Structure 1
Amino acid sequence: MRVLIFGASGYAGRAIAQKLVGNHEVYGTYYSQAKQYSDNKKMLRYKLNDTDIAKSILDCVRPQIIISCLRGDFQLQLAAHKQIADYLLRAKDGKIIYISTANVFDASKEKPHYEFDKTESETDYGNFKIKCEQMLQDKLGDRCTIIRIPQIWGKDCPRILKLIEDTKSNTPIMTYPNVYVNYTTNIQIADWIDYIIKKELEGIFHIGTRDTCDYMQFQLELSKVLGLNEPVFNKEIIQQKCFQAVLPGRKEIPNDFHLNVMDVLAYLRKVQNSCHDTLNRVGGAHIT
């Protein structure tokens, strides 16, 4: 199957590409890493506001599955996804897997949220993601799969590198005690998407741990398992317990694909304390 990943050079996109490349013909896009991908014919340069390049990529690749990990200006992203949806409508087949966010529920924090809860946001980011979800679903129906994710963690992810840097320098780290969130890893996202494609599953999926953890407590526990100094925190005090969590409720996903918060911490300890592969840290998915 031909798969096109918009944003394949990003942290989640690289993991998805690496997972799918063994069983699919995988293409991807990048923006700023021209030197890195100059010899890779299946990595294509794409600028978010260039509709001609997008059309050329879509017409050339003729993807059966499009995975969107795009980032950038909200209005440009929305326009790009409208163009993708219109291409799929003209093609009369194919589907899109759209990576969304827990922020589509950030106006309703009294409980964790499952796949079919009503979305409601109080932030520009959350409202943009809601608008994009709705547009794609309205245009494509069951040819659009929505993936909502909480914070992504993994080997040498930007959040871990920042935590390491800040604890070493005793730089205050922003934290939110009494806010309970769930977590995912780049590998879990890739595994779920591979399974969703393989089993031709449809609809909305929440990819994250089945439990939640206090935001500050997670930062403390992660610092411990990584052998770091205890962080210096800049706390934003939340008086009442609240949630920013998208819990997985779909029954089609096997138990082996699910994680708890302790699983994520154990995984991060294992991969982060292993020998660092410089190529993995600065490189990307090698799509051949």
Structure 2
Amino acid sequence: MRILILGASSYAGQAIAKTLAENHEVYGTYHTHRKSCLAENKMFQMQLGDSDSIKNILDQIQPQIIISSLRGDFQLQLEVHSIIADYLLTNKAGKIIFMSSSNVFDAAMEKPHYESDKTNSQSDYGKFKMVCEHMLQDKLKERCVIIRIPQIFGKNCPRILKLTEDTENNTSIITCPNLYMNYTTDVQIAEWIAYITKENLSGIFHIGTKDTCNYMRFQSELSRILKLKEPVFQKEVSSRKRFQAVLPGRKEIPEKLHMNVTDLLEYLGQVQK
């Protein structure tokens, strides 16, 4: 199967490309740095806002599945996704897997959220992801897969590198002891997408731990497991318990692809050595 990953040089995009390339013909795009496991002739430079180059890449590869892990200007991203939807409609085949975010629920933080919950966001980022979700679903129906993810962790991920730097320098870390989150890894995202692709599943999926952990405790535990110095926290305390968590509720995903927060922390301790 021919798969095109938009943003294959991103942190999650690299893991997705590596996993899918084991069984599929995988191509990717990058903006500045061609950082990927894919061969040079399978990576295409793409500029947001250059609709002709995007259309040329689609015409040249003729992908059966398009995975969007794009970053950048929101309006330009929206235009790219509109082009992709029109391309898929014209070809009457193929689907898109759109990487969304837990931020689509950031105006409704009184509880964790599952796939069937109605989105409600107050942030610019969350509202942008909501608009993309709705546009793709309206145009493509069952040929659109929505992937919602919480914070991503993994080997040498940006968040771990920043935590390491902050603890070494005794830099205050803003944290929220009353904010409960779930978490995911680049590898878990890649494995879920590989399974969704293999089984030709459709709809909305939340990829992350099955449980939550308050953000301050998670950072403390992660620092301990990675043998970092104790973080210096600047606490932003809320009077009520809040959640930014997209919990997985789909029954089609096998148990071996699930994890809880303890599993994730143990995994990070192993891969970061």
Q: TM-score range by the shorter chain?
A: over 0.9
Aligned partner letter, 1:270: Q
Matches of 1:152 and 1:36, distance apart in 2: 18
List per-residue Cα deviations over 1:218-275 (Å, max 9, x = no partner). Answer: 00000000001100112111110010000000000000000000011000000001xx
Equivalent residue number for residue 197 of structure 1? 197
Using a 3 Å threshold, how does the CA distance of structure 1 residues 222 and 37 change in structure 2: closer, same or farther?
Answer: closer
Matches of 1:31 and 1:244, distance apart in 2: 30
Matches of 2:152 and 2:34, distance apart in 1: 25
List per-residue Cα deviations over 1:166-194 (Å, max 9, x = no partner). Answer: 10010111111100000000000000000
Using a 3 Å threshold, how does the CA distance of structure 1 residues 242 and 42 change in structure 2: closer, same or farther?
Answer: same
List per-residue Cα deviations over 1:81-127 (Å, max 9, x = no partner). Answer: 00010010111100000000000000001110000100000111001
Equivalent residue number for residue 79 of structure 1? 79
Q: Is the 8 A contact 2:181 2:214 kept in 1?
A: yes
Matches of 2:204 and 2:33, distance apart in 1: 32
Equivalent residue number for residue 138 of structure 1? 138
Q: Is the 8 A contact 2:8 2:30 kept in 1?
A: yes
Using a 3 Å threshold, how does the CA distance of structure 1 residues 185 and 38 change in structure 2: closer, same or farther?
Answer: closer
Does residue 248 of structure 1 match 2:266? no
Using a 3 Å threshold, how does the CA distance of structure 1 residues 137 and 39 change in structure 2: closer, same or farther?
Answer: closer
Does residue 119 of structure 1 match 2:115? no
Aligned partner letter, 1:140: L
List per-residue Cα deviations over 1:51-102 (Å, max 9, x = no partner). Answer: 0110000000000000000001110111110001001011110000000000
Matches of 1:39 and 1:185, distance apart in 2: 24
User: How far did 1:33 drift?
Assistant: 1.4
Equivalent residue number for residue 51 of structure 1? 51
Q: Is the 8 A contact 1:183 1:261 kept in 2?
A: yes
Equivalent residue number for residue 165 of structure 1? 165
Matches of 1:71 and 1:194, distance apart in 2: 21
What is the SS of the residue equivalent to 1:155? coil
Length-normalised TM-score, structure 2: 0.98
Unaligned stretches of 5+ residues in structure 1: 274-288
Aligned partner letter, 2:205: F
Q: Is the 8 A contact 2:20 2:194 kept in 1?
A: yes
Matches of 1:36 and 1:256, distance apart in 2: 27
Equivalent residue number for residue 27 of structure 1? 27
Aligned partner letter, 2:22: G
The runs of 4+ residues in structure 1 deviating greater than 6 Å are 35-39
Aligned partner letter, 2:158: P
Aligned partner letter, 1:242: R
Equivalent residue number for residue 276 of structure 1? none
User: How far did 1:34 drift?
Assistant: 5.2
Number of residue pairs the alignment of both structures matches: 273
Aligned partner letter, 2:170: N
Alpha-carbon RMSD: 1.3
Matches of 1:146 and 1:10, distance apart in 2: 18
Matches of 2:62 and 2:250, distance apart in 1: 30
Matches of 1:69 and 1:39, distance apart in 2: 19
Equivalent residue number for residue 216 of structure 1? 216
What is the SS of the residue equivalent to 2:222? helix
Q: Is the 8 A contact 1:37 1:43 kept in 2?
A: no
Aligned partner letter, 1:81: H
Using a 3 Å threshold, how does the CA distance of structure 1 residues 36 and 212 change in structure 2: closer, same or farther?
Answer: closer
Name the % identity: 64
User: How far did 1:37 drift?
Assistant: 9.4
Aligned partner letter, 1:198: K
Q: Is the 8 A contact 2:27 2:38 kept in 1?
A: no
Aligned partner letter, 1:193: I
Length-normalised TM-score, structure 1: 0.93
Q: Is the 8 A contact 2:14 2:36 kept in 1?
A: no
Using a 3 Å threshold, how does the CA distance of structure 1 residues 124 and 263 change in structure 2: closer, same or farther?
Answer: same
User: How far did 1:39 drift?
Assistant: 6.8
Unaligned stretches of 5+ residues in structure 2: none
What is the SS of the residue equivalent to 2:177? coil
